[in-house]
């Protein structure tokens, strides 16, 4: 009996120590909240906050289609279930009208809500923890200036055990620590500003970095590309010239891509088109250039020449060529040369020959639409073919495009097309 009691007490002691460690790790860096509000809002602060909220693309997640701006309710799909964004308007019952600027800062910097709950990292506080207190206060002042919307917050729909605070505490202990922007003393002020925007409010690594089985990113793999589980698009590597790296571009062309969605070397589609439309087109010229400078300075991946790719079956190429002639050549040209300023070239297009063909399949199925921006207000678009082409035809034409006019990449199978349709309910 004594041995049993000793074993039980040892287990309880171990659990108590583990719980204490979890609590300590989840409270690291936090300070007691001030008793009174100290922030004094001004029109200039609100205006700055509006600009910063655009850079953070906050409205995209916190607004439903047709809903009040920032009233929340948008379902964000994750591998663990659906997280619903919260109401950020100053409604006191449903929004953040009763919050203080310090409580908002704690959410941004520490991922903790007003009531002390740990927040799910679908809200990208692992990036926003890099945001300064001054910028957090400006965003808070802007949100407090919005019309209050009484839209009720929706409960998350996460599977067990991911729907528990205990599981979230373990995740945070393993993968999250509050941070702060650290300027590189050997770099220019422009570079450091770009690093702050890209890694903090811009939260570019949230998409362009692979995630592990528990949905966490690693600094060691930052910018190396990853599948976006929310939308089933591949966010290509930003530090690889054969994917989406811009090291060899003119800086002005990188700025153009961020602000207009188009550049001589390529254009944005899919989720990145929404980012440009809602966020980066509003960057100041100085901030857009700073981001471009930082992205061009990213250490590049070692790129080994691809091993020879087996030629697709002649039957697949013939079928794909026929589909291309009937459906694609009118815009993209007989030789995949495209039309400058209107339709992108497919020959030599690195987006076409990515190792992961997900994006190409998605564009064929649901169309490709550039963002309408001040610098490109009436962009051309590509119609969807999800109702026109069968899975076999989509697989054939994408295989053909990936292996014509000097392009070389693995063929696309019907199972990949099927999965793309299934994921989006097409």
DSSP string, 185-216: TTS-HHHHHHHHHHHTTT-THHHHS---TTS-
Strands 368-369 and 381-382: antiparallel
Over residues 240-268, the pLDDT tens digits come to 999 999 999 999 999 999 999 999 998 99
Q: Is residue 295 within 8 Å of residue 199, measured between CB atoms?
A: no
Q: Is the pTM of this model over 0.95?
A: no
348 closest CA partner among 361, 332, 364, 331: 332
User: Is 162 in contact with 81 (CB distance < 8 Å)?
Assistant: yes
Distance CA 338, CA 342 (A): 8
Which H or E element spans position 369?
Answer: strand 368-369
pLDDT score at 143: 98
The pLDDT score that the predictor gives to residue 336 is 95
Phi/psi of residue 364, nearest 5 degrees: -65, -40
Please state, in angstroms and rounded to a whole number, the distance separating the CA atoms of residues 200 and 194. 10
CA torsion sign for 126, 127, 132, 133 is negative
The answer to whether domain 38-121+128-175 and domain 314-424 are alike in fold is yes
pLDDT of residue 6: 57
pLDDT score at 341: 81
Cα–Cα distance, 33 to 115 (Å, whole number)? 12
Of 353, 425, 372, 363, the residue nearest 394 (C-alpha): 363
Q: How many Cβ atoms sit within 10 Å of the Cβ of residue 285?
A: 9
Q: Residues 355-393, buried b or exposed e (16+ Cβ, 10 A)?
A: ebbbbbbbbbbbebbbbbbeebeebbebebbbeebebeb
Q: Can you spell out the DSSP letters for 22-88?
A: HHHHHHTT--PPPSS------HHHHHHHHHHHHHTTHHHHS--TTSPTT----EEEETTEEEEPPP-
CA atoms within 13 A on the CB side of 143: 32
Q: How far apart are CA 367 and CA 343, in angstroms?
A: 13
Compute the distance between CA of residue 198 and CA of residue 204 in angstroms, rounded to an integer: 6
| Residue numbers in the chain where pLDDT is lower than 50 | 425-426
| Domain assignments of the chain as residue spans, ordered by start | 38-121+128-175, 189-296, 314-424
- pLDDT score for 17: 63
CB 380 within 8 A of CB 303: no
Q: Please tell me the CATH code under which domain 38-121+128-175 is placed.
A: 1.10.760
pLDDT value of position 30: 79
> Where does 314-424 sit in CATH, by number?
1.10.760.10
pLDDT of residue 35: 82
Rg (CA), the chain: 24
pLDDT the model gives residue 425: 43
């Amino acid at each position: 009996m004594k041995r049993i009691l000793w074993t039980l007490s040892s287990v309880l002691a171990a659990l108590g120590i583990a719980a204490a460690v979890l609590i300590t790790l989840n409270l690291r860096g936090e300070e007691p909240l001030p008793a009174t509000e100290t922030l004094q809002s001004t029109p200039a602060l609100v205006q700055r906050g509006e600009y910063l909220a655009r850079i953070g693309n906050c409205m995209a997640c916190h607004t439903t289609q047709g809903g009040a701006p920032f009233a929340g309710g948008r379902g964000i799909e994750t591998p663990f279930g659906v997280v619903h964004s919260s109401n950020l308007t100053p409604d006191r019952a449903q929004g953040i009208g009763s919050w203080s600027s310090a409580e908002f800062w704690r959410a941004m910097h520490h991922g903790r809500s007003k009531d002390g709950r740990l927040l799910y990292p679908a809200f990208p506080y692992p990036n926003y923890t890099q945001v300064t207190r001054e910028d957090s206060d400006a965003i808070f002042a802007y949100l407090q200036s919005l019309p209050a919307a009484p839209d009720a917050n929706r409960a998350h729909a996460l599977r067990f055990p991911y729907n528990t605070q205990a599981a979230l505490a373990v995740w945070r202990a393993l993968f999250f620590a509050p941070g702060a922007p650290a300027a590189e003393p050997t770099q220019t002020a422009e570079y450091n500003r770009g690093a702050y925007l890209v890694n903090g409010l811009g939260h570019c690594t949230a998409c362009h970095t692979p995630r592990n089985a528990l949905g966490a990113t690693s600094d060691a793999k930052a910018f190396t590309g990853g599948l976006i589980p929310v939308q089933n698009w591949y966010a290509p590597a930003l530090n690889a010239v054969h994917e989406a790296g811009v090291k060899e571009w003119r800086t002005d062309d990188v700025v153009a891509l961020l602000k207009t969605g188009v550049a001589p070397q390529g254009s944005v589609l899919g989720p990145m088109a929404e980012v440009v439309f809602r966020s980066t087109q509003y960057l100041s010229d100085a901030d857009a250039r700073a981001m471009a400078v930082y992205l061009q300075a990213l250490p590049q991946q070692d790129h080994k020449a691809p091993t020879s790719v087996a030629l697709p079956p002649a039957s697949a190429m013939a079928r794909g060529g026929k589909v291309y002639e009937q459906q694609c050549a009118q815009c993209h040209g007989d030789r995949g040369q495209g039309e400058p300023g209107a339709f992108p070239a497919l020959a030599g297009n690195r987006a076409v020959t990515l190792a992961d063909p997900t994006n190409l399949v998605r564009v064929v199925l649901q169309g490709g639409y550039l963002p309408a921006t001040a610098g490109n207000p009436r962009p051309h678009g590509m119609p969807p073919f999800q109702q026109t082409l069968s899975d076999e035809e989509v697989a054939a034409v994408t295989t053909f495009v990936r292996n014509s006019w000097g392009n070389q990449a693995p063929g696309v199978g019907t199972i990949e097309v099927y999965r793309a349709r299934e994921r989006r309910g097409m």
